Amino acid sequence: MKGRLAIVGAGWAGMAAAVKAADAGWDVTVFEAARTLGGRARALVVELADGRSLTLDNGQHILIGAYRETLALMRHVGLDPQALLLRLPLALPYPDGSGLATPAWAARWPAPLDAVAAIATARGWSWRERAALVRTSLAWQRAGFACAPDATVAALCEGLPARVRDELIEPLCVSALNVPTHEASGEVFLRVMRDALFGQGAEGFGASNLLLPRTDLGALFPVAAQRWLQQRHGERTRVHTGRRITGLRRHGTQWCLSSEAGEDCFERVIWATAATPAAQAMAQVSDAPAPLRQWAEVAAALPHTAITTVYAQAPGARLAAPLLALRGGGTEAPAQFVFDRGQLAPQDPAAQGLLAFVVSASGGEREELQARVLAQGARQLGLPGLQALQTVVEKRATFACLPGQPRPGAVIAPGLWAAGDHVQGPYPATLEGAVRSGIAAAHLALG
């Protein structure tokens, strides 16, 4: 055994760090305040009126084939991404059949040819609109997918036709960065576009493939990681759920963590909670070194945005595709996407007719927002009988990915590191960003 490492937070970043640390021979203890694993990407059990239970998620997520680290780690802990994820060629179709869709004959083409084929055949777009997007994408590639740090996505795309901006760029931007184009970081958006359209996908997937979870987000990685740790490294790994860390202090060369169970000290600690609780914990450390105080200030200053997921039922409803883009924006049509959960879980009777509407960068009161989403779904999908089942509002779902926005680094202080999708890195607040930060923190802590 090489030493004792504590990880605070059992989300995707924390569990990624735990797997890497255990593989490296360290004694690993994970502390999670909640009773379930996964952080802001976790399972949610809902009781139906007929007494059955249905496992949902606290937010509907999309992975893409470019998420190489996430998909590799899933395989590492014994999962089969091909079975757990529904692979779709790049497509953002609207209910009327228009929009971007990779033709079947190009679905296996390498990047970026598959994306070019999708653009060239986009339904409802003129040749001028298609050609403009191809030209712009190739110009981004020639420029190395780089732009001025203060550039917004809207500024990068101002030369594109309005239809392309409204039907592709805006929904892509708000789903990936969780802020609208006129506020979003052009730098980060270009990195996502680079990997998704021109990058190399993980084994068995094209980079631009959309990967929709067939199972709940807990089973998709964190729960499987816990099981794998117990089976492979059981004698020196522990995952404590329902164990909130209430204190952190420096003791010689160690860091000591306090909880209701007492205090325990470790040679090294990775703090893998969301930004706000991490900043609050660091701010309470007595006699904190200057780097720790500075880290806490940067983390506390991160602006955040909300994501709302409205789960609604319509008996017998089946969409034209597992994922559809929705038209709108503004208060009367707030949802950008809708998922057909019945197509994702065809063997589950309770999932049939269940739809998940996603509102990125959401605002307003829960009940009012839910009502607007149901009305939008009724209009655009032709489903007047939609009934809300569960509405989940994550008020601080992601940090706001603004131009030049400072993000806290992975190093907090000697012996203390940070992990999470808010930590400085190339990606916005995504599952891949969280996993990459957990792996990076483990490498730094164990190096």
Per residue in 20-68, pLDDT (tens digit) is 999 999 999 999 999 999 998 888 888 777 777 888 888 888 999 999 9
185 forms beta bridges with 152
Average pLDDT over residues 134-145: 91
For 270, phi then psi, to 5°, come to: -115, 120
pTM: 0.95
Mean pLDDT of the chain: 93
Tell which wins on pLDDT, 47 or 338: 338
Give the C-alpha separation, 179 to 336, whole Å. Answer: 12
CB atoms within 10 A of CB 434: 30
In angstroms, the CA 427 to CA 405 distance is 13
pLDDT digits 0-9 by tens, 141-169 = 899 999 999 999 999 999 999 999 998 89
DSSP H/E element including 370: helix 366-381
Secondary element (H or E) of residue 2: none
What percent of the chain clears pLDDT 90, i.e. is strictly above it?
77
- Domains of the chain plus CATH, in order, are 4-42+218-303+402-446 (3.50.50.60), 90-208 (no CATH), 304-399 (3.90.660.20)
9/207 Cα distance (integer angstroms): 29
User: Does residue 112 have a cis bond before it (omega within 30 degrees)?
Assistant: yes
Strands (E), 247-386: 247-251, 254-259, 262-266, 268-271, 304-313, 323-325, 337-340, 354-362
- Does 1 have pLDDT greater than 70? no
- What confidence score (pLDDT) does residue 196 get? 87
Give tens-digit pLDDT for 383-435.
Answer: 988 999 999 999 999 999 999 999 999 999 999 999 999 999 989 999 999 99
**Would you call 45 helix, strand, or coil by DSSP?**
strand
In three-state secondary structure terms, 161 is coil
Rounded Cα gap, residues 231 and 226, in angstroms:
9
3-state helix/strand/coil string of 191-256:
HHHHHHHHCCCCCCCCCCCEEEECCCHHHHCHHHHHHHHHHHHHHHEEEEECCCCCEEEEECCEEE
Structure confidence at residue 163 (pLDDT): 92
Q: Is there a contact between 387 and 312 (Cβ–Cβ < 8 Å)?
A: yes
